[in-house]
Amino acid sequence: MSYLIAIKCKAIIVVLLLFPLLIYSQENILSGKILNISNEKLENVVVVLEEFQGNVIAFGQSDTEGKYVIKYDTEQDSINVKFRKLGLETVARKIPVYLQELNITMELAPENSLREVFVRNRRPIEVKGDTISYRPKYFRDGTEQSVEDLLHKLPGVSVDALTGTIKYQGNEIKKILLDGDDLTGDNYKVLSKNLSADWLEGVEVLKKFSDKRLLRGIKQSEDIAINLKLNENAKAPIFGKAKLGAGIESKYELKAELLSYLKKIKLFSIAETNNIGTDLETYDLETYLDSKNGGKGFVNPTNILNNNVAPPDFFNQEDFTFHHGVFISNAVLFKPNEKLKIRSLTNFYDNNLNFFISDTLSYLFPNGRTLSINEFQKQIQRPEEFFQDLKMDYAIRKNQELNIRFQYKTASSNTKSTNKTTLISATQLDAIEQHKLLTVATYTYKLNDKWAGEFQFKLGNNDLDESLDITYSSGALDNLKQQFLWRSFNIGADVNIYGKLSQNTSIKFYSGWNKSILELKPLFLSRYELRNMYSEFKIRKELSKFTLNGSARLRGVNLVFENSSSNKMLFEPLFGASYEDYLFNSLEIKVKTVLSSENNFVKPNQLFNQSVFLDYRSAVSYQTDFSMQQKSDLFLTSLKISENENTNLTSSMELGLERLSNAFIPNLSFQDEIVSTKFVQSGNMESIFTNFLLDKYFAKFKTNLGLTYSTQLSKSFLSVNDQFGQSKLLTNQWKLDAGIVCSRKLNISVSASVISSSNKWVVEENSFNFHKYFLKFVYKLTPRFRFLSKTQILDFGQELGGVSSLSDFSMLYKSNNDKWSFDIRLNNIFNLKNASFSSNTSSFFSQTNYQVQPRFFLASATWRF
């Protein structure tokens, strides 16, 4: 099956790549020679032939002799010819079709010929309405490999190093656009992690973003998107990069990046394989439309088995992953006419990950006693996934639109672990196979400038097969073998009405129904059903500098399980208020407060009351009521001071309180080194959190300074060997980031974090502090020759593992025409064998040693075409 999936994925990509090249016929011929002002022959100049409507009819490139020959066909009497090359000024000519020879002389682009000129009226950040524009050249230090690397340096923008999630002023973005077009939908990480940063000429943050054409101006949106603007000199019908690297310890790296800009087609393709540790899973397969649990979403199977080891998030993940893998992705947007738009995203991922860890888990007992379990684990993971997202937008009329979306995922994962503790040695095999399908059709009708409506139909199914096989080396314990088989079916429909009562008042009303059916064998004999009917009314009112939001949702829920049924009528209110003004005529200030209440039911995999083994030493069971809802109450207030082109300042502060009723209370018991946990749905949990962010960019010095602070106190109940009490987990983190431009040749980036954690249960307490540092030097010997040094340091103190540090060094050389670059990398200079980490949870304290990638040398070459 895996083989067929791989063939299917590659076939789709090949077809989509070749499709743009088949739309041309070849009858007329245009040829010529291209030179620079020194009469030197210019190679790889892109030549584009266009009709006057802007339609690309043919393209080509000059060879090593500076010559080009292009065949084309047109019904017009004359055409436009454009000559493009990075670093040179674009040349455009209008010629008659009978002209067969055109020789061109190209000059350096102004930014290359006048390197010492500083254009002072071009600011690094500009704000125009709801659009914030960044000029990347002010924030680069020459080490940015991907868009993600660049975005991380922009004031107000943050990137989660572990998940790749991108936020602007604390709010997660919804999409990443490529020159205004959406190629990847919700899976924006395909672009952020794979598109090279050196293509970018500009980055725009779009507030109040809406991807629904007919709802703009009627539906109030709080979404945020990022638009990437590519360098005009780089755009061509076909352009991209290819990278090849090899080194000692049998290390290798291959990557191909292809883009195509045509009148009707825009394409981004990526293919990569390596064994240097870089995580190749750069997309989020779980961003299914309307797949969340709750009022409008479906109920889907959730894994019971979850025993995969993950690298720590303190350092870069590739420092701890011993693997080799393949990732292929193809995103294409096809616009055959003004009414129809088709978007396709295809991803294929096949990996082999290896982890080596040793850890100590210390469970807190009453009366000052602890239970410590020492473990060594070697784990091999083999995840393989194929994902297809296909969307069609069709404008039936000017005021009517039909959207059809199809998403399919098939995934398999095989995990083998060798586990050793003081008393037990075991071999564990996990196998998981999943198939997901979702189809959504949406019809949108715009009555006038004030009213619009949507009708949406959703259909999906989700099958999940899990198996666990544990073999103990001694006869003290019986071998285990368990299998769980999920079957699910979902169907639903929604009606949405949007209205704008006045310039300052808008409303939304929606009503819908969905049904979810799940079967889990052999744990349950009866199936789980949830029928959900809901209606909600929302109103938004703007009063001068104030904005008020209110909504009330009424849900009728019918649940059926184990021949029992339950009917619920639930009321879920939400109230929000915001105040927006300007301070000192330059700083935009916004204060926002939200109060909300939401109900959710336990997931089907939290309904079994018999013990299920999750791994070789852990058993879990649940004592829950399928009809008892969990209620989540949230209070959130935030203060934001937005950036301005004069101050380049961004700051935000957030304070929140969340309370969960009918939460799970873990009851822990121990037998030898087997830990049994029973979850009882009878407690409450509270969480208080605060986040603070400050970014200041000093344009005169091209220097950025960032400060973040976060704290969270979580209170929950815990039972250990029949001793019951409240657990308090408190974490605090201070972080300072600075990017300092010392001179035109030397840039320094520094980061320092202080993190504290304390866990108190009854009278027992574990607490520790640690420091994290990051230091990067970038030295540009010449504009073409660069040195890079990176060091990461983690200090837990001598009692908790001491100091761990990792250092890398690299050298980069670029050719004069930027066509070639050569990179030499030395990984883990001091050849550290292990790195130690400590962590706290509500039930235990752990110390873990992760084996680190050995020192290796890697040389690579990149060709830009």
Q: What is the pLDDT of residue 257?
A: 94
DSSP of 335-395: -SSSSEEEEEEEEEEEEEEEEEEEEEEEEE-GGG-EEEEEEEEEEEEEEEEEEEEEEEEEE
CA distances from 153 to 15, 94, 141, 168 (A): 37, 42, 10, 12
Q: What is the pLDDT of residue 295?
A: 44
**Residue of 333, 327, 292 lying closest to 185 (CA atoms):** 333
Q: What is the pLDDT of residue 27?
A: 63
Write out the two tokens for 769: 């502090």
Q: What is the pLDDT of residue 645?
A: 61
Q: Give the separation between CA 403 and CA 387, rounded to whole angstroms.
A: 20
Write out the two tokens for 804: 């761990």
CA distances from 267 to 178, 500, 839, 862 (A): 10, 37, 44, 21
Nearest 5 degrees, angle CA 610-CA 614-CA 618?
85
Identify the sign of the CA torsion 292, 294, 296, 299.
positive
Q: What is the pLDDT of residue 118?
A: 36
Tell me the per-residue pLDDT of 65-107, one tens digit each, with 9 for 90 and over: 899 999 888 878 788 899 988 778 888 888 878 788 888 888 8
Terminal Cα-to-Cα distance of the chain (whole angstroms): 36
Contact in structure between 518 and 527 (CB atoms under 8 Å):
yes
Whether this prediction's pTM lies above 0.85 is answered by no
Phi, psi angle pair for 448, to nearest 5°: -160, -165
Q: Give the separation between CA 416 and CA 320, rounded to whole angstroms.
A: 18
Q: Give the separation between CA 273 and CA 246, rounded to whole angstroms.
A: 12
Identify the sign of the CA torsion 398, 399, 400, 405.
positive
Contact in structure between 804 and 850 (CB atoms under 8 Å):
no
DSSP of 293-321: SSSSPPP----S--------SSS-GGGT-
Tell me the per-residue pLDDT of 451-499, one tens digit each, with 9 for 90 and over: 999 999 999 999 999 999 999 887 767 888 999 999 999 999 999 999 9
Q: Where are the alpha helices (DSSP H) in 246-396?
A: none
Contact in structure between 376 and 426 (CB atoms under 8 Å):
no
CA distances from 276 to 248, 354, 418, 857 (A): 11, 12, 23, 10
Q: What is the pLDDT of residue 464?
A: 94
Q: Give the separation between CA 175 and CA 223, rounded to whole angstroms.
A: 9
The stretches in the chain having pLDDT less than 70 are 1-27, 53, 110-122, 279-296, 366-368, 476, 585, 643-647
Q: Give the separation between CA 553 and CA 537, rounded to whole angstroms.
A: 7
Write out the two tokens for 733: 């983190």
Q: What is the pLDDT of residue 379?
A: 93
Q: Give the separation between CA 277 and CA 324, rounded to whole angstroms.
A: 7
State the pairing for strand pair 746-761/252-261.
Answer: unpaired
- 476: burial class by Cβ within 10 Å (0-12, 13-18, 19+)? exposed
Write out the two tokens for 1: 């099956």
Q: What is the pLDDT of residue 569?
A: 94
Query: What does the radius of gyration of the chain's CA atoms come to, in whole angstroms?
Result: 29
Half-sphere exposure for 365 (CA within 13 Å, toward CB): 11
CA distances from 187 to 285, 288, 412, 639 (A): 7, 10, 20, 29
Q: Which helix (H) or strand (E) holds 16?
A: helix 2-18
Contact in structure between 179 and 228 (CB atoms under 8 Å):
yes
**C-alpha of 401 from chain center:** 29
Q: What is the pLDDT of residue 535?
A: 93
